[in-house]
Structure 1
Amino acid sequence: MEFLNDMAIFVEVVKARGFRGAAEALHMPNSTISRRIGLLEKAIGLRLLHRTTRKVELTEAGQVYYERCKRIVDEARLAHEQLGDMLAQPTGTLRASLPVDFAVIYMAPLIAEFAQLYPGLTFDFDLTPRQINLVTEPFDVAIRIGEQEDSHLVARHLASLTPFLYASPTYLEREGEPATPADLAGHQCFNMNKNGLWALHGGDVVTQVAVGCRYALNSVGMLRRLATLDQGIILMPPAIVADDAAAGRLRQVLPAWHGKPVPVYAVTETRLLPAKTQRFIEFIKQRLEAEHGTRPQDIART
């Protein structure tokens, strides 16, 4: 790479007919330009330029070298421009693993918008609750919810979703509305955590409540649906229950309290990503930031 940079400097010196003009065009010190050309001539073993006080002229060897260097540098610049075009309008198939309910309920509108922005892309989405293997399986990215275990993968933090308590009006009329977090112990509370505990935050206060329910399941969509069928209280991010809340099928309970924010990550095998994957992650991150006001961070798992 350094050798190619020296070739580009040499071409600029010839085009500018001197070190000063090249230094101005490249925004580099004149002494640096002169030193790089000297190192290039030393590496080749031939003098390329005749230096005078006013200008430089090509030697015979320099003329031959310049013609070839100019062709190489021009091709490199063209390739750089073409890669820029690819980044602007990526093509190909984006293969992503997505959490089932989160994808259907929340990400579908974002994906539709992203697809409209990049018509050259096609999509292969695998909606599954399992943790796919990004090393052995042909996926570009996996969207995962919750803290990630340490591994050799790269997890980019996209957002943190804060869950709140919801129940149907009919359930609350039948069972009574809890007035404090402690009252939840006497209610049917859907919990995906095996420990049966909800950590609820109210301002600077954090309290743990032991909750229980007749149902044990691992589907966000099923939890939400059962809650609308008057079966109990759920702890969900507002975006997941927005339609049901707007339609009156669910109502917020204990609005001054909320659960621990749940992180959302884009997980990849490497930091060196193709344009299609970069654009997808950037878009999802931007939209989640806009809606949830979170700051992104990249976490390298080693």
Structure 2
Amino acid sequence: MEFLNDMALFVEVVKARSFRGAADIIGMPNSTLSRRISALEKTIGLRLLHRTTRRITLTEAGQIYFERCKRIVDEAKLAHEQLGEMLAQPSGVLRASLPVDFAVSYITPLIVEFARLYPGIVFDLDLTSRRADLVSEPFDVAIRIGEPENSQLIARPLAVLPVYFYASPRYLERSGEPAEPADLAHHECLGLMKTGTWILHDGEHTAKISISSRFTLNSVGMICRLATLDMGIIMMMEKIVADDLASGRLRRILPNWHGTPASVYAVTETRLLPAKTQHFIKFLQEHLNKI
């Protein structure tokens, strides 16, 4: 497809009416430009230019070729300009898969701000606890918490969010408040799915505690709700329980300890992303840690 580039060079030579003038505009050595046009003529099988020491003129074939090439080059420039406008002000439908409770607590206010910045984008959001298949499903991006599982997908880090421990006042009155990580082994601990171990950190030490629970579930919202109903201790990102903390339904325990921070990623099926997706991921990278 190199001849397409040579077509653009040919148009510049005709517009400048000389090889030297076109070479100065393009930033290419005069000898290289002359050789490229000669190669183009050889490929076509027709002479396009009459050359003299002072000027060039178009042959009959060159005139026809120039008129066609100029339209093609102009269209190509217009396409680039329009793509530049799309990058500056992207539009279209942004299809995203989001974890339910994280989206409600963390992503929603950012989407509101993002939507105001880019009024041309329409949002198709799928809030689910399942991991969408980005290869077979039409999502532009998925937001995921925890280390990426599929190495064939492209994972871009967005944020690392702290995780703390919480329980309801009534649960603590009934069961006692743990003073150190080892005490958790004697408490009802509410974790996602069949989590059998919690890892705690205090900046210097790490504690690995086996936990037990009567509940096996995959809903962050229900785990938090069970905690407010005095059913046990949870390990959770702070903003997800912000309302329960403010109302007194939950309070933080083991204040010198925290869980392993939650890594948040934007996952895509390819590195070649439309402008709407590029801007969305960049916006989340810049703003997620600030919430």
| Coarse TM-score class (shorter-chain normalised) | 0.7 to 0.9
The corresponding residue for 1:189 is 189
The Cα of 1:247 is off from its aligned counterpart by 4.1
The Cα of 1:206 is off from its aligned counterpart by 2.2
* TM-score w.r.t. length of structure 1: 0.84
The Cα of 1:67 is off from its aligned counterpart by 1.6
How is 1:282-301 mapped onto 2 (pairs within 5 angstroms)? 282-288=282-288, 290-291=289-290
Q: The residue matched to 1:14 in structure 2 has which SS?
A: helix
The corresponding residue for 2:133 is 133
Q: The residue matched to 1:260 in structure 2 has which SS?
A: strand
The Cα of 1:194 is off from its aligned counterpart by 1.9
TM-superposition CA deviations, 1:182-236 (whole Å, max 9, x none): 1222222222252410111222432211122333322111222222333332111
Q: The residue matched to 2:159 in structure 1 has which SS?
A: strand
**One-letter amino acid of the counterpart of residue 22, structure 1:** A
> Which shifted more, 26-35 or 176-185?
26-35
1:22–1:216 CA distance, 2 compared to 1 (3 A): same
Q: Which runs of 5+ in 1 are unaligned?
A: 293-302
> In 2, Cα distance between the equivalents of 1:254 and 1:27?
66
1:163–1:29 CA distance, 2 compared to 1 (3 A): farther
Given the alignment of the two structures, is residue 251 of structure 1 paired with residue 251 of structure 2, yes or no? yes
> In 2, Cα distance between the equivalents of 1:19 and 1:224?
74
1:24–1:170 CA distance, 2 compared to 1 (3 A): farther
> In 1, Cα distance between the equivalents of 2:281 and 2:101?
19
1:30–1:201 CA distance, 2 compared to 1 (3 A): farther
**One-letter amino acid of the counterpart of residue 61, structure 1:** A
TM-superposition CA deviations, 1:116-140 (whole Å, max 9, x none): 2222332222222222233333333
> In 2, Cα distance between the equivalents of 1:109 and 1:149?
28
Q: Work out the number of aligned pairs and report it.
A: 291
Q: How big is the alpha-carbon RMSD for the aligned residues of Structure 1 and Structure 2?
A: 2.5
> In 2, Cα distance between the equivalents of 1:25 and 1:286?
39
TM-superposition CA deviations, 1:253-287 (whole Å, max 9, x none): 22332222322222333333333333333322332
The corresponding residue for 2:279 is 279
Q: Which runs of 5+ in 2 are unaligned?
A: none
Q: The residue matched to 1:163 in structure 2 has which SS?
A: strand
> In 2, Cα distance between the equivalents of 1:32 and 1:188?
77
1:52–1:206 CA distance, 2 compared to 1 (3 A): farther
* TM-score w.r.t. length of structure 2: 0.87
Aligned 8 A contact 2:8 2:73 in 1: yes
**One-letter amino acid of the counterpart of residue 223, structure 1:** I
The corresponding residue for 1:229 is 229
Aligned 8 A contact 2:165 2:236 in 1: yes
> In 2, Cα distance between the equivalents of 1:189 and 1:176?
13
Aligned 8 A contact 2:168 2:230 in 1: yes
Given the alignment of the two structures, is residue 28 of structure 1 paired with residue 24 of structure 2, yes or no? no
